[in-house]
Chains A and B, each alone.
Chain A
Amino acid sequence: MHALPFSPATASLAGVPARLLFLLIPLVGAACFAWMMVRRMAPLMKAAPDARFDNIGERTILVLKVWLAQWRHPRYMLAGVLHIVLFLGFLVLGLRSFQLIFLGFMEHFTLPGFGGELGVVYNIAKDYAATAVFLSVVVLAYRRGVVRPARYAVPKELGKDHTGEAILVLGLIGTLLLSESAFEGSLLAAGTHGTATPYTLAWGFQHLFSGLSIPALGRINVASYAIHDLTFFYFLCLLPMGKHFHVITSLFNVYFMRLKPGHVKPVKYGVDDKGLDELTSFGVKKIEDFTWKHQLDFYSCADCGRCSDNCPANRVKRPLSPRFISIKGRDHLYQRYPVFGTDKTEAEPLIGGIYSEDEIWSCTTCGACEEECPIGIEYIDKIVDLRRGMVDEGMVPQSLQKPLSALEKRGNPWGKLEKKRADWAAGVGEGFEVKLAEKGDEAETLYFVDSMTSYDDRMQKIAQATARILTKADVDFLALGKEEKDSGHEVRRYGEEMLFQSLKEQNTEAILETGAKRIVTSDPHAYNALKNDYAGLPPVEHVSEVIAAGVEKGKLKFSPLADPSKTYTYHDPCYLGRHNGMYDAPRVAIDAIPGLKRVEMAGACKDRSFCCGGGGLGLFYEPEEEQRMGVLRVNMAKEAGANVIITACPFCLTNMEDAIKVAGLEGQMEAIDLCELVDGQLQH
C-alpha cells in the first residue's frame, strides 16, 4: 500500500490532529441516532399486539419485490423511476458512506472483501451511482420546487406545506454526493489514486481541480470529507424526525405488511370470537390502542400522496385523506413520545382530537390506498378499528343507527320482513324453479343472495338473472330464503363487530344446515364476507366464475348482441377486484358474447378501479362531499368512449344508475349487471 499524499486521518486542523474530530463526529452522531431510535420504539413497545411474525417466505418475497425491486413505484412513472434510481443509488452509496466514516481516522480503511477486484468494480459502480442519483436529485428538486404536483399540496386546515422538508432533504443528498465526489476528485487530481470513471461527478471534480497544488488539494480533501461526515450524521439524525424515516422503516414496514387483502383484523390479536365479550374496550380510541405495525405505518409514511390521489373519498372532497391519517397519526405519536422530554401519559381521544367522526365514516374500504402505497401502509384495518372504538362509545350517526338496528332485528338494513326475503324468486319465470331451504329443499350449490339483491326491486333482477344462468349452466342450487341474514360485510367494516358475529353465526348455521357443497353469490360483498370473514363454509364462488366456467365448457352459449353499435366497459367492483384479485372471470364472460365491443377505462381499471360510492351501510351514510363518487366514475366511462357500464355488484349498479341521472347522462349512458347482460344473450 502506497502512501497517500494527504488524508483526513493524517491532516491537522489548527495544530490538532483532524482524526480526533473525525472520530468524535461519528461517535456523537451514532449515539444521538441510537437514542432517537430507542425513543421512537417506545410507543411500539406499549402498542396492541399484531401477529406478523408468520409466513417468513412470503414476507421475504415481498421484501424482494416491493422493497428491493420497488415494484409499485412505476405506477407513477416519472416519480417512480426517479425514486428507483435514488433508492438503488442509496444502497450502493451506503457502503461508500460507511467506508468514509472510517477513513476519517484510518487512512487505508477498506471494507472487508473490497480490497481487490471487487473494490475496483464497486468504485466504478458507486461513481456512476452518485452521478445518476445527483441527476435524479436535480430533477426531483425541480419537480418539488417548481412543477409542484398537486398531490403534494397540504390543505390549509392540515398545517403548513411540506415542500421545505422535501427540498432540505434533497439538498442534503446533493451535498453528500458532491462532497463525496469532491473528496474522490481531490485524490484523483493529485495523481496517486488511479484513474477516474469517465463522465462521473468524481471525474468532473478531477478535471476541475487539475493543476491545483498538493497542499490546496489536501485542504479540499479534508474540507469535503468534513462536509460529508457532518452532513451524513446530520441527515441520519434527521431521519427519525419526519417523512424520511421511511429510509429506515420501509424495509420493516414491507416485511410486516398485510398479506391477505379482503380480510379485516380481529378486534384484538390473540382473542378469538368467543373471547370478545371479555374485552373491556373495543377498537382504537387513543393512539396507544393501535397495533405496533399500525404505528410503524405512521412512522413509515413518506408523504408521497399516492394513497390520497387514488382515494375516491378524497377525490370527491369528503373529509378524508388517507395520507393525513398517517401524517396526523405520526405527528401525534411524536408529540406524545418526544425524542427529548417525557412521555405524555394522560389518554387523549383520537376522535375529536386528531381525527373527526366524519373523516372516519367517509371511507368505503375500497382499498385503493393500500393497493397504491409503495411501502405497504394499510388503512382499512385502522379505519375499522377506529370505527369499532366509535361504536363502542355510541358515536354512530343516526343515518347508520337505523340500518344497524334493522339488521339486528330483521337481518336486513331496511327492516323488511324476513318472510319476504325470497320474493324475488317468484319473478324468475316459467320453467325455472328456485329451491328454498326454508321449504326444506336440498341442492348441491347454495345461492347466497344477500339483502340488497333480495329486497331491492331493481336488484331483484340480478337474482332472477342469476337463477336463470345457474339453471342453464346445470347447477343444482337453492337459496336460503328467510333463513338468510345479511352477510354483515359492511356491518363488520363499519365497526359493529358483535352484530357481525351474530349475523355470521346465524348464516353459518343456516348454510351448513343445507348440506350444500359450494356457495355461489352475485354480490361481491357477500362473496368477500363468506370467503374471508366467515370460517368453516364450503368453497365460495362469484357467479362470474360460474359463467366463465360455463362458457369454457360450452354449457353457456350466447346470441349476438341485438345492437352491436354500443361500446361496453367493465367496472371492477372493489371487493371482486382489488380485495380478491378477480379481474379475468368477468371479462372472459363479457368477451364471450358475440359482437360485444369492450373498452377499458385506461388507468382506472382492474387494481386501479375507482369505487362507485360504497356498498352496504355506505348506501345509508350521508357524507359531506362535493359530488358523488359514482358521477366521477360514470364520467371516466364516458371518456373511455363507452356507453354501457357493466358491473358485477348490486351496490355498484345502484350507484352507477343514480350517478348517470345526477350526471345528466340519461339516454347516453346505461349501467347493467354482468348477470343481466349474460342472461339477456343466453341461448335457451
Chain B
Amino acid sequence: MDILVCVKRVPDSAENEISVAAGGADISREDLVYAVNEWDNYAVEEAIQIVEREGGSVTVVALGDSEIEESVRREMAMGAEQGLMLVDGAFTGSDGLGVATILKAAVQKGSYDLVLTGAQADDGAAQVGGMLAALLDYPYASLVNRVEVAGKSLRIGREIEGGSQELNEIDTPCVLSIQTGINEPRYVGLRGIRKVASVEIPVLDAAALGVDAAAVGQAAAKVRRVDYFVPVAGAGAEMLTGSTKEVAAQLVELLKAKGGIN
C-alpha cells in the first residue's frame, strides 16, 4: 500500500507564548518555535504501521517555504522513506481550497492508494482533508481512529459524539483525516534527523505540479482573515470556599447542574 501523508509546519502551541501582533491580522511571530502539527504525527505513525504490516511505501508531503524541510525530515526520521516539498512563492496565502488544489496536483503526480491528513492543524480549520478528497473525487472519512487493511478496501473506525465508536468500510484510493490517539507516535531525536539529513527531497513548484499559479495563493483566496483578537474575558471565575469536603460537594453539585456528570 503506497501512502501519502500531508503534514504541516505550525507554531508549536505547547512551546510558545502566542500573542496577537501589533497589526491585529496575525500572531506575533518573533521568538516562535515550530513543530510538525500534532495530528500529522499520528497520521505519519499510522502510515508507517500500515506499511510495516502490509508492505508498501510512505511519502510525506508538505507545502510552504524552504523552512518546511525541517518538518519533512523529522517525519522521514520516523520512518517515511520519501519526502516531497511543494514550494512556490505563488502558494503563499492560499486558503483551504488553494492548499487542497495544490495537494491534489501532488497526489496526481504519484500513484497512492491512500492519502492521510491530520484531522486538523493547530493553526488551521480542519478543511483541507475533505476538500482534497472532493477535488480528487475520492471517498473521505474524517476523525479516523482505527485503520485495518482488508484487501482493496479499508475498515476504519471513527469516534462519534459521546465517545461512541463506529466502524466503516471505505474503498481505496481514499483520503482519511486522522485523529490523535489512534496510536503512539514514535520519538524522533536529533540522531534520527541526522540519519536522514542527506536524503534527497524533491521540490516541486507550481509549474512542475501543473498548478495554475493564478488559481492559488493570496489573490485567489476566497476566505480571508479579517481580524485576530483575544476575546474579552467573561465574568470572573466562581471561587468555591469551605473545607475540602464542602468544596468537593459543591463542585459535584455544580458539575451535575451544568451537565458535566450525570
Q: Which residues of B have CB within 8 Å of A397?
A: 184
Q: A394-B187, A394-B192, A398-B184 are in contact. Are A406 and B78 (CB under 8 A)?
A: no
B187 with A415: CB separation less than 8 A: no
B33 interface residue (CB < 8 Å to A): yes
Contact across chains for A391 and B189 when beta carbons are under 8 A apart: yes
> Which of chain A's residues 379-438 have a Cβ closer than 8 Å to chain B?
391-398, 400-402, 404-406, 408-410, 415, 417-419
Q: How far is the CA of A277 from the CA of B191 in the complex (A)?
A: 7
Given known contacts A394-B78, A415-B33, A406 and B15 CB-to-CB distance under 8 angstroms: yes
- Is A192 among interface residues, defined by CB-CB distance under 8 A? no
Verify A401–B15 contact, CB threshold 8 A. Answer: no
Q: Please measure, in the bound complex, the distance between the C-alpha atom of A244 and the C-alpha atom of B194, giving whole angstroms.
A: 46
Contacts of B184 in A (CB 8 A): 397-398
Query: Which B residues are in CB contact (< 8 Å) with A378?
Result: none
Residues on B with beta carbons closer than 8 Å to the beta carbon of A398? 184-185
Chain B positions 118 through 131: 1 when the CB is less than 8 Å from some CB of chain A, otherwise 0: 00000000000000
Q: Would B12 and A415 count as touching, CB distance under 8 A?
A: yes
A415 touches B31 (CB 8 A): no
Within the complex, which residue of A394, A404, A502 is in contact with B186, where a contact is CB–CB below 8 Å? A394
Which residue of chain A has the shortest Cβ distance to B35 in the bound complex? A405
Across-interface contacts of B35 in A (CB, < 8 A): 405, 409
A-B contact count (CB 8 A): 58
The CA-CA distance from A408 to B191 in the complex, in Å, is 12
Please tell me if the beta carbons of B33 and A404 are within 8 angstroms of each other in the complex. no
Residue on B nearest A396 in the bound complex, by CB: B187
Interface size class of A (residues with CB under 8 A): 20 to 34
Tell whether A502 pairs with B190 under 8 Å between CB atoms, given A405-B15, A406-B14, A417-B17: yes
Q: Answer whether residue B188 sits at the interface, using C-beta atoms and an 8 A cutoff.
A: yes
With an 8 A cutoff between CB atoms, is A359 at the interface? no
- CB <8 Å contact, A395 and B17: no
* Distance of A202 Cα from B185 Cα, bound (Å): 70
Q: Given A277-B194, A410-B33, are A391 and B14 neighbors across the interface (CB < 8 Å)?
A: no
Q: Mark B175-204, 1 if CB is under 8 A from A, else 0.
A: 000000000111111111010000000000
* Main DSSP-derived SS at the B contact region: loop
B168 on the interface (CB 8 Å rule)? no
Cβ contact within 8 Å between A395 and B186: yes
Q: How far is the CA of A379 from the CA of B11 in the complex (A)?
A: 40
Bound Cα distance A400, B187 (Å)? 9
Mark contacts of B22-63 with chain A using CB atoms, 8 A cut-off: 1 yes-contact digit, 0 otherwise: 000000000101010000000000000000000000000000
**B16 touches A (CB below 8 Å):** yes
The smallest beta-carbon distance between A279 and chain B, in angstroms, is: 9
Q: A209 contacts the other chain (Cβ, under 8 Å)?
A: no
Asked whether, in the complex, the Cβ of A498 is within 8 Å of the Cβ of B14, the reply is no
CB pair B190 A410 closer than 8 Å: no
Instruction: State whether the Cβ of A292 lies closer than 8 Å to any Cβ in chain B.
Output: no
Say yes or no: A415-B190 contact (C-beta < 8 A), given A398-B184, A409-B33: no
How distant is A495 from chain B, measured CB to nearest CB, in Å? 9
- How many Å from the CB of A325 to the closest CB on chain B? 23
Q: Does A486 contact B (CB under 8 A)?
A: no
A270 to chain B, nearest CB (A): 19
CA–CA, A415 and B32, complex, Å: 11
Distance of A444 Cα from B78 Cα, bound (Å): 45
CB distance from A277 to the nearest CB of B (A): 6
Complex contact A499–B14 (CB within 8 A)? no
Which of chain B's residues have a CB closer than 8 A to the CB of A276?
191
List of B residues within 8 angstroms of A277 by Cβ: 191, 194
- Any B CB within 8 A of the CB of A290: no
Give Cα distance in the complex from A368 to B253, angstroms: 47
Distance in angstroms from A118 CB to nearest chain B CB is 62
Contact of A404 among B16, B78, B189, B194 (CB under 8 A): B189
Check if A496 is an interface residue, CB within 8 A of chain B.
yes
> What chain A residues lie within 8 Å of B14 (beta carbons)?
402, 406, 415
Query: Smallest distance from the beta carbon of A454 to chain B beta carbons, Å?
Result: 16
Q: Which of B31, B35, B189, B191 has the most CB of A within 10 A?
A: B189
A183 at the interface (CB under 8 A from B): no
Find residues 2-22 in chain B having any chain A CB closer than 8 Å to their own CB: 12, 14-17
State how many angstroms separate the Cβ of A381 from the closest Cβ of chain B. Answer: 19
Q: Cβ of B190 and Cβ of A499 under 8 Å apart?
A: yes
Smallest beta-carbon distance B251→chain A, Å: 17
The chain B residue sitting closest to A401, CB to CB, is B187
A397 to B192, CA, bound (A): 17
User: Once the chains bind, are B189 and A498 in contact (CB under 8 Å)?
Assistant: yes
B190 contacts A417, C-beta separation under 8 Å: no
Report the Cα distance A504→B91, complex, angstroms. Answer: 40
* Contact (Cβ within 8 A) B33 A498: no
Complex contacts, B16 vs chain A, CB 8 Å: 415, 417
**CB <8 Å contact, B186 and A498:** no
Please tell me which one of the listed residues A282, A394, A409, A419 contacts residue B188 in the complex, with CB atoms under 8 A apart: A394
Docked pose: A394 CA to B188 CA in angstroms: 6
Closest approach, in angstroms, between the C-beta of B75 and any C-beta of chain A?
12
Are A499 and B189 interface neighbours, CB within 8 A? yes
Shortest CB distance B116–A (Å): 18
Known pairs A406-B15, A409-B15, A410-B15; A417 contacts B189 (CB<8 A): no
Residues of B within 8 A of A396 (CB): 186-187
Q: A277-B194, A394-B78, A419-B31 are in contact. Are A409 and B189 (CB under 8 A)?
A: no
Q: Which residues of the partner chain B approach A497 to less than 8 Å between Cβ atoms?
A: 191
Q: Which chain A positions have C-beta within 8 A of B17?
A: 417
> Shortest distance in angstroms between B64's beta carbon and chain A's nearest beta carbon?
18
A394–B78 Cα gap in the complex (Å)? 8
- Shortest C-beta distance, A209 to chain B (Å), equals 73
B33: chain A residues within 8 A (beta carbon):
409-410, 415
Which chain B residue shows the least CB distance to A390?
B187
- With a cutoff of 8 Å between Cβ atoms, the chain A residues found around residue B192 in the complex are 394
A residues in contact with B188, CB < 8 Å: 394
Within 8 A of B (CB), among A345-402: 391-398, 400-402
Q: What residues of chain B lie closer than 8 Å to A404, measured between beta carbons?
A: 187, 189
- Known A-B contacts A392-B191, A402-B14, A409-B12; the reply to A417 vs B186 at CB < 8 A is no
Minimal beta-carbon separation of B167 from chain A (angstroms) = 25
What's the nearest-Cβ distance from chain B to residue A405, in Å?
7
**A496 to B188, alpha carbons, bound, how many Å?**
10
A409 to B35, CA, bound (A): 9
CB distance from A420 to the nearest CB of B (A): 9
A502 neighbours in B (Cβ, 8 Å): 190
Chain A: which residue is nearest B197 at the CB level? A277
Can you name the residue of chain A whose Cβ is closest to the Cβ of B180? A398
Q: Which residues of A contact B190 (CB under 8 A)?
A: 408, 498-499, 502
A95 to B188, CA, bound (A): 58
Contact indicator B191/A415 (Cβ below 8 Å)? no
CA distance A410 to B190 in the complex (A): 14
Alpha-carbon distance A396/B78, docked complex (angstroms)? 12
Name the A residues within 8 Å of B186 (CB-CB). 393-396
Instruction: Give chain A nearest CB distance to B35 CB in angstroms.
Output: 7
**Cα of A404 to Cα of B35 in the assembled complex, Å:** 13
Would you call B189 and A496 a contact (CB within 8 A)? yes
Cα-based distance from A499 to B33 in the complex (angstroms): 17
> Can you name the residue of chain A whose Cβ is closest to the Cβ of B34?
A409
Task: Tell me whether A415 and B189 are in contact in the complex, defined as CB-CB below 8 angstroms, given that A394-B78, A398-B184, A405-B35 are known contacts.
Answer: no
List residues of B (96-129) whose CB comes within 8 Å of A's CBs: none
- Determine the chain B residues whose CB is within 8 A of the CB of A282 once the complex forms: 191
Q: Which residue of B lies closest to A409 (CB)?
A: B33
A502 vs B194: C-alpha distance in the bound complex, in angstroms? 13
B92 CB to nearest A CB, Å: 24
Interface residues of A in 493-515 (CB under 8 A from B): 496-499, 502
Residues of B bordering A, CB below 8 Å: 12, 14-17, 31, 33, 35, 78, 184-192, 194
Of the A-B pairs whose beta carbons lie under 8 Å apart in the complex, a sample of 5, sorted by A's number, is A277-B191, A408-B189, A415-B14, A418-B31, A419-B31
The 10 closest A-B pairs by CB, nearest first: A415-B15, A394-B186, A396-B187, A498-B190, A409-B33, A498-B191, A394-B187, A406-B15, A401-B187, A415-B14
Other A-B pairs, 11, CB within 8 Å; known A405-B35, A418-B31, A419-B31: A277-B191, A391-B187, A394-B187, A394-B188, A396-B186, A404-B187, A406-B14, A406-B15, A498-B189, A498-B194, A499-B189
